[in-house]
């Protein structure tokens, strides 16, 4: 049986990956950073025989032992907070160092297959391309550009670090999955930052929305790509955008409102100048302002062709998220 180590198993995306792996009869070792999260994963998969290990991206302990007997490393763990920290290194350091710890341990344990959850944010702010052009897998975000946030830099530098390690490790076949903002159903109430965006669209916390077309994807498609990549030869050594159709924030709000009529969804678009002014005093907006006046869309044609994906429409993904938010928060 093929044994897969999934790091960050307590995450929103990782739980869907676990479900997909177990459904396909993979043997699963799940890493969590604290034993406190074990019960919540066991509750989702009561019949499954999941082995647990404790790993922290910022600590050396346990990485080597965790790789023993592993055939595939699926590295999803990375900090993805709702608000950006004051010091960008608070995100960059764990993301990059954690990826290096994972890859180096995999290399010395002879793990031959590695799938990493990167992001479209590691692609879409390439200073070498005109800013209103869409991006694809050939683009790399310019991590030190002033309009790149700490989270975007963390994902870009972590993915680069991974490709650098495997450049000197011919026995490792690496694939990165680079999702847009991930919507879709949550498996429990720990649904993380991307569904917090949907939650904010429902509670009236966002009276107006920015004029941004986001790149988005359903978590079920993201999980499927991670798991299908294991056996797909053509994915080795490649990065893949995971993205569906793009909706504006206003369209997302409208779709949510139709499915959850009492949601307090926004009806107006905030002018860019207003957001720029508000960002001077509101830390939460600091992650949004650098996206104004920029095309953030990423082409999904490589994934459609190689994986045979027909991506779940963003509208359906957003509605599923809204229903989960309602289910888990009341």
In the complex, the residues that contact ligand NDP under the rule CB under 6 A are: 8, 10-14, 33-34, 37, 56-58, 76-80, 94, 117, 119, 155, 179, 181-182, 192, 194
Q: Is 190 left (phi over 0), alpha (psi -120 to 50) or beta?
A: beta
In whole angstroms, the minimum distance from the beta carbon of 149 to ligand NDP comes to: 12
CB closest to ligand NDP, residue no = 11
* Nearest in space to 59 (alpha carbons), one of 30, 95, 101: 101
In whole angstroms, the minimum distance from the beta carbon of 329 to ligand NDP comes to: 16
Half-sphere exposure of 62 (CA within 13 A, CB side): 17
CA-to-CA distance for 246 and 212, rounded, in angstroms?
Answer: 10
- Closer CB to ligand NDP, 130 or 239, in the complex: 239
In whole angstroms, the minimum distance from the beta carbon of 34 to ligand NDP comes to: 6
| Neighbouring C-beta atoms of residue 305, cutoff 10 Å | 10
In whole angstroms, the minimum distance from the beta carbon of 274 to ligand NDP comes to: 25
- Closer CB to ligand NDP, 267 or 329, in the complex: 329
- Closer CB to ligand NDP, 181 or 212, in the complex: 181
Angle CA 285–190–224, to nearest 5: 95
| Neighbouring C-beta atoms of residue 115, cutoff 10 Å | 24
* Nearest in space to 174 (alpha carbons), one of 294, 245, 74: 74
296 within 8 A of 212, measured Cβ to Cβ? yes
- Closer CB to ligand NDP, 14 or 148, in the complex: 14
- Closer CB to ligand NDP, 119 or 135, in the complex: 119
In whole angstroms, the minimum distance from the beta carbon of 199 to ligand NDP comes to: 13
In whole angstroms, the minimum distance from the beta carbon of 76 to ligand NDP comes to: 5
H or E stretch at 329: helix 314-329
- Closer CB to ligand NDP, 214 or 275, in the complex: 214
């Amino acid at each position: 049986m093929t044994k897969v180590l999934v790091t960050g198993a307590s995450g929103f995306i990782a739980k869907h990956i676990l479900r997909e792996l177990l459904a396909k009869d993979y043997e699963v070792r799940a890493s969590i950073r604290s034993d406190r999260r074990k019960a919540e994963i066991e509750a989702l998969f009561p019949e499954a025989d999941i082995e647990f290990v404790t790993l922290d991206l910022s600590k050396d302990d346990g990485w080597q032992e965790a790789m023993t007997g592993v055939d595939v490393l699926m590295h999803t763990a990375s900090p993805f907070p709702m608000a950006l920290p004051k010091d960008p290194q608070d995100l960059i350091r764990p993301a990059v160092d954690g990826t290096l710890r994972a890859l180096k341990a995999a290399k010395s344990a002879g793990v031959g297959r590695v799938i990493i959850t990167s992001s479209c944010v590691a692609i879409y702010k390439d200073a070498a391309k005109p800013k209103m052009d869409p991006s694809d897998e050939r683009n790399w975000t310019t991590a030190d550009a002033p309009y790149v946030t700490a989270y975007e830099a963390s994902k870009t530098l972590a993915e680069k670090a991974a490709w650098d390690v495997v450049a000197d490790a011919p026995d490792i076949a690496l694939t990165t999955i680079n999702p847009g903002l991930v919507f879709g159903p949550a498996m429990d109430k720990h649904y993380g930052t991307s569904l917090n965006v949907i939650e904010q669209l429902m509670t009236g916390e966002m009276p107006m929305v920015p004029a941004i077309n986001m790149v988005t994807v359903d978590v079920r498609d993201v999980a499927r790509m991670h798991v299908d990549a294991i056996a797909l030869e053509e994915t080795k050594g490649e990065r893949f955008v995971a993205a569906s159709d793009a909706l504006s924030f206003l369209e997302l709000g409208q779709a949510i409102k139709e499915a959850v009529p009492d949601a307090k969804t926004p009806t107006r678009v905030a002018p860019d100048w207003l957001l720029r002014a508000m960002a001077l005093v509101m830390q939460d907006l600091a992650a949004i302002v650098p996206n104004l006046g920029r095309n953030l869309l990423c082409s999904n044609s490589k994934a459609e062709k190689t994986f045979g994906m027909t991506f779940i429409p963003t509208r359906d993904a957003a509605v599923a998220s809204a229903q989960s938010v309602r289910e888990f928060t009341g």
